[in-house]
Amino acid sequence: MLAGYILEGTEATQKFAAALSKTLSPRSLIALSGDLGSGKTTFMQGLIQGFGGSQAMVQSPTFVYLHHYPTTPPVYHFDLYRLRSIDDFYAMGFEEYFEKDGITAIEWPERIASILPSTAIKIQLSFVSETARRLVIE
């Protein structure tokens, strides 16, 4: 089932993500897709805030594959933009996070599409205008 939303401004994206956090349970996995600048980090700020963390904790992990946020439950935030191959993902042991009792959020999940759990919540962000984003959730 697909659901689509138009979110006007960063605050709307953050509020949507914070509300979504209330529906998630440990071991939920969010596959967060979208072009550079489409709002993935903004979405993550709202998600972390929804779990009691500070938006200021969230940075785009572009140069680091994984950020761990000590929220309740913990959030494991992957950015796979620079991942060279799925073999690198395995070599770093990252697939173990699919089984952890936390929330796993993966930016650029298409890099590991063949091993994503079928239960992954797929979210696609795209540009509508300079300030508005379309969010499609599956």
pTM of the model: 0.92
* Tens-place pLDDT, residues 75-105: 999 999 999 999 999 999 999 999 999 999 9
Q: By C-alpha distance, which of 128, 129, 126, 132 is closest to 32?
A: 126
* Tens-place pLDDT, residues 50-80: 999 987 778 765 678 999 999 999 999 999 9
Distance, CA of 91 to CA of 71 (rounded, Å):
27
- β-bridge partners, 31: 106, 122
Domain 3-137 has CATH 3.40.50.300: yes
Is the distance from CB of 47 to CB of 137 less than 8 angstroms? no
The residue type found at 106 is: I
* Tens-place pLDDT, residues 33-46: 999 889 999 999 99
Distance, CA of 133 to CA of 62 (rounded, Å):
21
Residue 44 DSSP symbol: H
Domain segments of the chain as ranges: 3-137
Beta-strand runs (E) in 35-99: 66-69, 75-79
Q: By C-alpha distance, which of 48, 23, 35, 28 is closest to 125?
A: 35
